[in-house]
Structure 1
């Protein structure tokens, strides 16, 4: 571990003065506070054994014990988020040991699972992300604009992270993983909450108020605004990546007999400085391309009905409108309408054993308009796309301890037509504390507009043209896993995986001299994922995670893309994290997180070690103060070439949360 560089005195800037003011205010309020009350039970109070029994939904689209889920799934709870001190959603995702999270600059992140971050930019194209059932995976380039994914972290109930395929239940593009983010019901967020989080590089302020109408409708309304200053290069020169971002939203939940209803609405606005590699006045100082504008609104409505014997019906619809302008490169307006239906049948006896069946359908329509420039274009600039699918999955209780899950999904997309996504999972539940499972799946990453419609002007007669010959990227996945709770104070999970890839995207040079996209690469990836928790003492819990992966890719005959295999290998060969949570008493706790990430060769990023710390103090009921320190081992880069790679510097902050 690197030694912590000595601290030097600098005059306090406005953000630091704000942080100091927050600290002083919290201490002043605490001086006259009431005697502490023990908080109500939450996930932090649960034993290791009880945590293994928390229900998860992402593996089978119905509640099941985490211990019984036949997949590599890690759950980030609301209490994990509170104790982490993280200020943004990507920083929260660092808690999942089966994800690799690399910060590109002040607001852009590269987040992937099991490698294959081959999109050629900072966005993994094989990871599906959902927020309250709404997909935020954009069809423009196959990936996620992480700077546009803003949520009120205090309202997140849990984040279920699956590493591995999820095509049967979640569809195309759930190739290497699924991140399913669920926010809390409005019934659980009554009253008011205000937070103020200030750090050495910016500040975040948020407010929420909830209530219940005379008709029994629980609701909440919330708002959040964030400002961040420029980060720096290793040379100390500023990166033009300052930003400001705002979010407002509402949610309502109510019940009528056996029916449950939810309505969720959000609107956001972001303004980001846009860094670009180049030289201005001095080597290594990035040029700026102008500001990025990222605005959007979305509305989701969900209906659920409980039926006899554990059966249920669910219907969901959402509308999502996004506007993104990155001057002078391009602008895009995207309108998405999505309808989903799901029917979970009551378990019934049948051939081979007891059957638990879930099936459903999904239809999605989008209208996309791109404002082309002399630098980047999409042809045609306006397009409409449709997706449709039908899926079914059956969990068969073969014997007392053996379960076979068979699933299949047929999905249609505009570029490759119909794709078949089958899956088979076999689970042997040795006891309520031990489970072995194996799985075989086929999943697909469908082409995006970038693959097929991209156009870069140039000579001869243009520089780059997307190609209709681009095929869906296919992954055949084999997994073997074990999840155990051998003692009340110990639990762990280990998964071995092997992915066979075909038709991976390449960039080919035409004999006429221009470039086009094609699908002339194949290969494989094998590795191991392991994590676990140990209750070392009544108030002390240790958690650790480790991943290791080996990837080997090769070009098919006819390919001239000599860089393709290196571009697709942007993930570290191994990662390790260790987390310690210690409750000093009923009011104070301290958390330490150590992350160690192996280096990468293309572009070259040295290995690094990072230490984060948080001290939390519940000054009085409803009032909490937290002091945080990130990257206490010193600055490091996580993504990109040395010319424009932002350094992740030491960051000190304070957060005050007031519930009333």
Structure 2
């Protein structure tokens, strides 16, 4: 059984923190009524549904139903194409700095892949950030080996993204285990939306990229092809402001990489009711990995590809029937050198997934989406899965998953919407689980909506964790250890969405209770008799504001903060792993028809991570100091030989700040400047 959580109640009832949350919520709770129209209550019985939905963005991901964002059962941040462009982001992972509550670290992983960490709500005990689901067009790219996502290995370019929906909170009811802290769904452009050809070239210090895209339509078939090559020299070789003069902490990681990407998407309108979508993607190229006096790649190349087929039929009743099948193959070919000599660093991961989904209206004022899926994963990674006496060194590691899911949306009254859903799933690692959610959205006025929800979510062990469990439970170790279980969370939130003056405001407070948290890396956990002994309580707030400042200017502001309290059993640190606050601010302005600019500012408070680089002799603890950063973009649109063109100057880290993210050998590489030329034909 999990260790009993014994933290004193006083720790969780500090008056200063509680009053801060109460006052902040109270301001937003009563502010809407200052602008409410007189007589609204008396007229409420005569209002129709449309009164609450005019000019409201629609989201597709929160419940698997297409819903106005103020009727979704969870908080959702929508990042559109213009935000992506205005952010000046180079890597896909950088975009998520604009999401309240998200922590992004530049190239944090020193071992398997020199890649960024994207983590929601702290709880970052590994660089892979394995507690959040990531989808591309509904296709899971959550890796089975370590969990999490290898962002640089995804076969996608920023130019093909229509928008990104980020569900801020657990969503296992819709997407199952591993949708533990939140879900990112990256939605690409329909093939018909990108006709013609375009080329773009980017060049700057340490970075360069070329992208070619062509789209066309032939009868009822639309298609798009995108090819790109990018080179990234990563962090500076030397740390500018090391926290220790020990050589290990004066050198950054090996993280140079080249990415060759190709994508194909076709959309075929079979008849008036049926559509068929096919996607293929490839990402490959040489990668560096490792750090000083540890593991370094002699040769290393990543190869990833996927194929997806998606059939949809529009039903006469207004519903839809769909079937989606995809295959993913990730492959790393590597020879690694460490203190023991040269090792086999090859790794392979494959996934086959089949999902069917049906949406319809069973009764008046209701909609129901339900369906199921089956999945088969297989992993091979002798170097990374070899533990102890290497009894698990060779062989493939299969994983089977079956799911049934459903979500009912019931419009109780024109101003009251109930969402109730659940996911039932069974996997070969931990057996069966059911993860429910219920949410109630109340349109207090046409411009102001309140939401209250409660959900439960799980995270299944990764292959790495499952193999380590087998090692600790070996005959020569701790055979009486109970089997590894899923991590669990109970999450409650109160949210508000509305329009105050011209600003769209999204605010929520949340209380999350995490238990059965997995740790297989420390022998202390095995000795204690439970690899699922961790527990943490998190409470906090998030605010997102989108507002126009005149006809040519808009701002997007994000704020989040909170606390995490834990007994930190077996030395696994969760307490204070959520920054006390983080800010993001994007200001974009259109000067005239030719000139447009944007400025982005980020600020993150001091952050506490797991004891990955704790060394009291070097006077370095668990904390990474707070930091702030400014990025800018200035673009000029013009005609080139009769074709539309744009030249953009992008500067990241304008102030040339040298700060650490995640660890003290992970220093952001100072000011980065690049020019980008894009021409549409």
TM-score tier, shorter chain, comes to 0.7 to 0.9
Instruction: Report the alpha carbon displacement of residue 294 of structure 1 after superposing the two structures with TM.
Output: 1.7
- What TM-score do the two structures reach when normalised by structure 2? 0.81
Per the alignment, residue 608 of structure 2 pairs with 601
Q: 1:468 to 1:290 in 2, by over 3 A?
A: farther
Per the alignment, residue 70 of structure 1 pairs with 73
| Structure 1 contact 529–547 (Cα < 8 Å) conserved | yes
* Among 488, 496, 499, the residue aligned to 2:512: 499
Instruction: Report the alpha carbon displacement of residue 432 of structure 1 after superposing the two structures with TM.
Output: 3.1
Q: Distance in 2 between matches of 1:249 and 1:628?
A: 26
| Structure 2 contact 204–673 (Cα < 8 Å) conserved | yes
Per the alignment, residue 296 of structure 2 pairs with 288
Q: 1:510 to 1:638 in 2, by over 3 A?
A: closer
Which structure shows the higher strand fraction? 1
- Structure 2 residue 444 is the aligned partner of structure 1 residue 430: yes
Per the alignment, residue 144 of structure 1 pairs with 149
Q: Distance in 1 between matches of 2:154 and 2:506?
A: 29
| Structure 1 contact 379–453 (Cα < 8 Å) conserved | no
Q: 1:243 to 1:462 in 2, by over 3 A?
A: farther
Q: Distance in 2 between matches of 1:222 and 1:56?
A: 26
Per the alignment, residue 355 of structure 1 pairs with 366
Q: 1:447 to 1:456 in 2, by over 3 A?
A: closer
* Among 299, 303, 310, the residue aligned to 1:302: 310
Instruction: Report the alpha carbon displacement of residue 381 of structure 1 after superposing the two structures with TM.
Output: 2.9
| 1:570-585 map, 5 Å | 570-585=577-592
Q: 1:186 to 1:237 in 2, by over 3 A?
A: same
| Structure 2 contact 319–359 (Cα < 8 Å) conserved | yes
Instruction: Report the alpha carbon displacement of residue 430 of structure 1 after superposing the two structures with TM.
Output: 2.0
Instruction: Report the alpha carbon displacement of residue 383 of structure 1 after superposing the two structures with TM.
Output: 2.2
Q: 1:253 to 1:425 in 2, by over 3 A?
A: same
- Structure 2 residue 59 is the aligned partner of structure 1 residue 56: yes
Q: Distance in 2 between matches of 1:267 and 1:125?
A: 23
| Structure 1 contact 342–360 (Cα < 8 Å) conserved | yes
Per the alignment, residue 350 of structure 2 pairs with 335
Instruction: Report the alpha carbon displacement of residue 510 of structure 1 after superposing the two structures with TM.
Output: 6.0
**Equivalenced residues, count:** 589
Instruction: Report the alpha carbon displacement of residue 635 of structure 1 after superposing the two structures with TM.
Output: 2.8
Per the alignment, residue 540 of structure 2 pairs with 527
Q: Distance in 1 between matches of 2:400 and 2:280?
A: 23
Q: Distance in 1 between matches of 2:223 and 2:425?
A: 36
Q: 1:541 to 1:125 in 2, by over 3 A?
A: same
| Structure 1 contact 137–144 (Cα < 8 Å) conserved | yes
* Among 406, 417, 429, the residue aligned to 1:403: 417
| Structure 1 contact 625–657 (Cα < 8 Å) conserved | yes
* Among 497, 504, 510, the residue aligned to 1:483: 497
* Among 185, 193, 197, the residue aligned to 1:188: 193
Instruction: Report the alpha carbon displacement of residue 111 of structure 1 after superposing the two structures with TM.
Output: 0.8
Per the alignment, residue 172 of structure 1 pairs with 177
Q: 1:457 to 1:497 in 2, by over 3 A?
A: closer
The RMSD of aligned alpha carbons is 2.8
* 1:457-501 Cα deviation digits (max 9, x unpaired): 99x9989999762211000000100000133x2111001011101
Q: Distance in 1 between matches of 2:637 and 2:525?
A: 68
* Among 118, 131, 139, the residue aligned to 2:136: 131
| 1:527-606 map, 5 Å | 527-554=540-567, 561=570, 563-566=571-574, 570-602=577-609, 603-606=622-625
Per the alignment, residue 218 of structure 1 pairs with 222
> Any stretches of 5+ residues in structure 2 without a counterpart?
1-51, 242-249, 337-342, 610-621
* 1:306-346 Cα deviation digits (max 9, x unpaired): 11232111110001111124542642212211001110013
| Structure 2 contact 154–283 (Cα < 8 Å) conserved | no
Per the alignment, residue 326 of structure 2 pairs with 318
Q: Distance in 2 between matches of 1:182 and 1:222?
A: 16
Per the alignment, residue 666 of structure 2 pairs with 645
Q: Distance in 1 between matches of 2:414 and 2:383?
A: 61
> Any stretches of 5+ residues in structure 1 without a counterpart?
1-48, 279-285
Q: Distance in 2 between matches of 1:54 and 1:373?
A: 44
- What TM-score do the two structures reach when normalised by structure 1? 0.84
Instruction: Report the alpha carbon displacement of residue 526 of structure 1 after superposing the two structures with TM.
Output: 0.5
| Structure 1 contact 455–464 (Cα < 8 Å) conserved | no
Q: 1:334 to 1:536 in 2, by over 3 A?
A: same
| Structure 2 contact 252–666 (Cα < 8 Å) conserved | no
| Structure 1 contact 70–437 (Cα < 8 Å) conserved | yes
Q: Distance in 2 between matches of 1:540 and 1:465?
A: 64
Which deviates further from its counterpart, 236-245 or 357-366?
A: 236-245
Q: 1:395 to 1:456 in 2, by over 3 A?
A: closer
* 1:66-120 Cα deviation digits (max 9, x unpaired): 23323211000012112222222112222223422111359511111122122xx
Q: 1:575 to 1:244 in 2, by over 3 A?
A: same
| Structure 2 contact 162–188 (Cα < 8 Å) conserved | yes
- Structure 2 residue 211 is the aligned partner of structure 1 residue 206: yes
Q: 1:483 to 1:640 in 2, by over 3 A?
A: closer
Q: Distance in 1 between matches of 2:412 and 2:525?
A: 60
Instruction: Report the alpha carbon displacement of residue 576 of structure 1 after superposing the two structures with TM.
Output: 0.5
